[in-house]
Amino acid sequence: MADQDYYQILGVERSASRDDVRKAYRKLARKYHPDINPGNKEAENKFKDLSVAYDVLSDAEKRKLYDEFGEAGLAPGFDAEKARSYRQWQDSARTSGSYEYNMDDLGDIFGDLGGMFGGRRRPQSGPMRGEDVEAAMEIDFLDAVRGFQTSLTLQRHIQCEVCHGEGTKPGSKPAQCPECGGSGSKPAVQGPLQFRVTCPRCRGSGRLPGDPCAACGGAGRIARPETIRVNIPPGAEPGKRIRLRGKGEAGIQGGPAGDLFIVPRIRPHPLLTRSGKDLSMELPITVGEAVLGASVDVPTPVGMVKVKIPPGAQSGQRLRVRGKGVPAHGKHPAGDLYLRLMVQVPKNSIAHDVVDKIDQAYTEDVRKDLRL
């Protein structure tokens, strides 16, 4: 869906309000929901596209980033301020030609923007902690509410089993780094910007402890796909990272591994909405149930429950069902489910016979307080 326009997917203008976006999504989500189109792969894919588009356009901050940067602005770790600074610099550089800079001299212009492009770092030696890794995961609304276990396959670096992370052949003597010629850095280009970056092989020292390990090429680490078991707790929230310790990149020279952070992207639900631990849903009821009261079956994330409709219930009235929101987890208590009653008026002609009698039951003008 990288080349698609989220506004076109929902069929709304770029100036559409949040309420317009919500209405458009709910209308299309009901049409393409997998439960209504069982076995229809095209409808399933359309529903996924709708969910992703709604997740972005219904969130003010995400929508702002999307409007300015496109889908790139929604990527994990994206820094809007740095991107704006770099864009501004690019615009000015185009009018003055290409210049060569040392990355350390650009701090006043870019701050730490150089890190986005592999800017030069000070040489480091000894054990170093592995890099942290972020992975986005699209999660169904109800799965996020209930919690679940899943597997995630990632390409990550593990410690080389031959050199045990040292990067050199056991018993070999120190030598000049062949990749950078002993300088500790290499030339690089980013758009109109020319600079030097830290040599990835010697990590800026200019020397290798000995002959490079044949198994890992001197890196001390080998990239391999790994399947990781992930436990998503009940109540996972969009953008709130889930940390898996030690599942990031392997450390260097015996250093500890980094961490893996799962960034949930939760697909909206056509009926349920969520606020923290609480859930909300519209509940259609008949005129008779509103007038006389009733006990009706209501679906919840943990199964069907009986809910009592009080006599004389009004359309728009909210009922609270305790403990039927996000399930309890650890020290966190369960949330509640809020039902917004929606009285449904019958459309067939039989109902016309009783309308007059119902109107006679009103003892006062229902619009008496409707004043501007």
Q: What is the pLDDT of residues 263-294, one digit of tens each?
A: 899 999 999 999 989 999 999 999 889 989 99
Domain-embedded: residue 343: yes
* CB-neighbour burial class of residue 130 (10 A; exposed 0-12, middle 13-18, buried 19+): buried
Domain-embedded: residue 315: yes
Domain-embedded: residue 177: no
| pLDDT for the residue 296 | 93
Say how far apart CA 3 and CA 24 lie, in whole Å: 21
Domain-embedded: residue 139: no
Domain-embedded: residue 280: yes
Helices (H), 11-99: 18-32, 41-57, 60-69, 80-94
Q: Are 255 and 128 in contact (CB under 8 A)?
A: yes
Domain-embedded: residue 366: no
Domain-embedded: residue 313: yes
Look at the chain and report how many structural domains it folds into. 1
* Domain harbouring 279, CATH code: 2.60.260.20
Say how far apart CA 144 and CA 326 lie, in whole Å: 9
Express each pLDDT in 80-137 by its tens digit. 777 776 666 556 555 544 444 444 434 433 433 434 443 334 444 557 788 888 888 8
Q: How confident is the model over 196-204, as a mean pLDDT? A: 74
* CB-neighbour burial class of residue 9 (10 A; exposed 0-12, middle 13-18, buried 19+): buried
| pLDDT for the residue 189 | 55
Express each pLDDT in 224-244 by its tens digit. 888 889 889 899 888 788 899
| pLDDT for the residue 86 | 63
Report how far apart the first and last C-alpha atoms of the chain are (Å, whole number). Answer: 47
pLDDT band for 209, please (50, 70, 90 cuts). low
pLDDT band for 310, please (50, 70, 90 cuts). very high
Say how far apart CA 274 and CA 337 lie, in whole Å: 9
Q: How confident is the model over 352-363, as a mean pLDDT? A: 75
Domain-embedded: residue 352: yes
Q: Note down the domain range covering 280.
A: 273-360
| pLDDT for the residue 91 | 62
